[in-house]
Structures are given as structure tokens and as C-alpha cells.
Structure 1
């Protein structure tokens, strides 16, 4: 970690070494989610992105048709390669595929001082399935995330389906968000961000940030678009980028919320199914 406090989202001046962030996740051959979404987000937020690839997925706008998990030793080797050499300002996890990969990531993060109470914050996006409902996590891996990964998370960012899978709590209205946050916090993360995007009947999209004692509502407009592929990955990556630049968890989450609102507002159709949220809004239109 560089230790340099920088405004989240600001592009570093030419030649200056930027803050860094590491994503530990699977790939998306369609480019809308996973590692690809994380790297686009890191760049848009002025952070140098690094990767530890966990799985290769076969997917497009219609869904995931296959995936191959990488050997756990190779996942760990990627983390061990970049952490001591390049430094990690913050890290995030996405698709981890198997219990063996989860446990290997936990061990490698410990060796790199990544996680709650350590020098480098860790955002855990507990990805269990694609937005189309395709499973991305084996059953024993879900238990490993719940019992062993979440306790080392600085921040967990589950959506409501993931809350149900991890805790059994079913949320059907905004009033249930606090109960979901409490149940998730009991699993061990220092902070929890409950994403309320799936409450389609709520005219607003009000996410809830919880530290075990106090909760903070983060309201935002509900974007009426079907094109939200990669939204969860993008939000977690934006939060990680702000943490890498020295922001507190509440500051980083508020930045991430602002970022994802713009990304969803700029989402575009692509392919025959669900299009991705957009990083294009961050691209300068100045002539080259």
C-alpha cells in the first residue's frame, strides 16, 4: 500500500505511481462482469488494477454455459507474485468457485496482510450465482465463504439473494434490510453493505451500511433499465478503489454508490440478453 491519501476517482498525474487494488475473481468472456468489470472500474477510478484469476467462465449476455476453476495453487501464486512486488492498497474477491480456492485465498491474503485488522482492507463480494441464476459457487464453497472468508472481510457486499443463501433471511421490503444486515454481520465482517437492487417494488434503491451498531441508509434513484450486468462487481471494485486511496469504509461506500448510480444510468444494450453497466461515463471526451 502506498499510504498516499488521494481523492477517490481522481486520475493520477502523468508519470505518478497510482494507488493499487487487487481483484481475486473469475473472468467473463463477454467482458461485462468479473475481472474485466473490476479492471475497467479500477482504471476509471484512477487506480492501477491487478488480478488473481480464479476461474474462466464461458458466458455472454444470455448467461453462463460453463466454467473451469483454476488450480488453487495457481490462484495463490498470483497473489504472492503481486503483493510483495507491486503492493496492494486494497483487495476484493468475486467468484471463488470452490472451497479449495476459498481456503487458499484466505491463506494467501493472510500472508500478504490483507483483511480486517490488517494493513490492507478486503472487500468480499460473496458471488454465488450470475444475475441469470447460473451457479458460480459449489455448495461446500458457499459454506467456506460463510464460515471462513467473511470473518476476515473489512466489508461484505451481498445482494438480497446472497443474504438469503448465507443467512436464511428473506428480505421483501426496505424494512427488512436491518435484519439482513445484522444477520450478515454476525458472520464476522467488520462492515456489511446490503444491496437493495432486487427490491424491484421499492421506488428508490436504498442500500444499507452496517457496522454492528449503527446503520446508514444510502438512497439512490431506481434506474429502470434491464442492463445491469456486472453491477455488483463494479460497485465492490469502486469501493475497493476508494479504500486503496485511504478513504474510510463509509467514505468509500458512498463513493462506490455514486459511481454505480452513474454506471447504471449509462448502461447499454449489448447482445441478445442483458447488457453491462458502463464505465464510459468516466472517459474524457477531450481529443487525443
Structure 2
């Protein structure tokens, strides 16, 4: 059983990262808890945060093997995008954020809850070619309706704590996917790839069998399963854990929460603070490992 802890180097780790790394280590076989640095957004990455990640994990007694640096695999990401382009499963999107917001404000343009109204999907090949020839900035969006017509049912095995509904085999309906997620960006204008695309490629390259992460990322899973099937990649099993929160709500780097290294320096008992969540998660982790014939 192979898991990965996959932080981004855009801030120091906080208590929630510590819990997430613990879950990944508990699920994995010894020596198969891998580190991945998700740094495709180089505008936000900082050198100090790369080194701090491994230092903080070591301070907590958590072990990770290797370190796959996501930004070093641009060629693989470009290859995957080209495969989707060759099958006409993506289209260029020239919309600005303002364009999308204005379209979403027009009720006749979209169904309520849809993430993107499909403005550029309706453009003719001639229109697209002209805009591309003029080097108009663009992202690439997945034509989700076409993708679902190819792959059929979207489902995955969930072992953890989904934000709604029970764990088990999750079957996601076509209508929900189209209305709630829509044509997601698979290659951003500025970096030529996306979180979704980079993640599924790295999971396959690292032979990840179980993706463990916070349940705030639960709704990204169906899109990633779609990409895995389109690119003929393995579909791992998933364990979405609860988020660690303080009295003010969810801990997040952008909220300037106390970092793990600050807590370590203050001799805070980090594991005591996490003990209730660890106790809640452990039975489901045990159930998962037993299902794979593991002690």
C-alpha cells in the first residue's frame, strides 16, 4: 500500500498538515509513505518552504521516502495535455475571470450551480483558430460531456470521512458532474497545466494505491477519476480525512495559523492535540488495511 503526503511550498506546514501526514503514514506499508512537493505554481513557491517541509516532518517523527518535485515533470504534463487535445477532449478557453463572472450573472446562460457556463465550448473551430493564431491568452478546459460519453460511470472507493454521505463505493451521477463541476481547467494560462492534471500523473508515476487527504478536496476526486480513465491511468482508492480546526475554524496557511515549527519550538504537545482525531480515524484505517490483507 503506497500513499503520499503532498504539500505545496507556499507556506509553513500547520497542524492540519501534521494530521494529514500521520494518516498517510498509518495507511502505507513501511517505507511506502512518499513525499511529493506540489509546486506547479512557481509564483507562490519559496525555497525556504521546500526545506521546511522535510525538517518539520522529521521533527514530528514522521518518515517519508523520496521527494517528487512536481514542477520538474512539465514534459509529462505537456504529453498528457497533447493526448487530450488529439482526442478533441479539451478546448481553448479565452475567457477572463470577468467574462465568466458576467456570464454566471446571466440566468439564461447557465444552470444554477454550474462552475463554467461553456462560453468557449460553443466557439467554432474557425473562431478558435483565429484566436490561437493571434496568440490570445487561453487556458484549456475539459469537455466533460464528451469525456463522460467515452468513460461512462464515474466511481471510486472511499474509506474515510466524505463531507456528505457514507464511505464506500461512491457513484457520481452524470447530471451532478455536469451541473456542479462542469468543464474544469486542465491547463492554466500561466503554467500550462493544472492541479487536476499534475496530480493524476504524479499518482500514477509514484504507483500510489491510496490517496489520503483532507475532505475539502473530496469534490476534486470525480474529475481526477475522469482524467485517470481518459489517460488510461490506475484509479487509486481514497481516504478523505476530517480537517483540523481551531476555535476560529479551519486551519489554513493563508489565515496565518500557527505553524508546526512554531508549535515545536514552543514544546507544544502536537500529538495530544490531535489525539481525538487520530482515535476517530484509526478504526477506518484499520478496516482499510485489513481489506488489503494487511495487519
Higher relative contact order (CA 8 A, sep 6+): 2
Larger-Rg structure:
2
How does the TM-score come out when normalised to structure 2? 0.31
Q: Which has the higher helix share?
A: 2
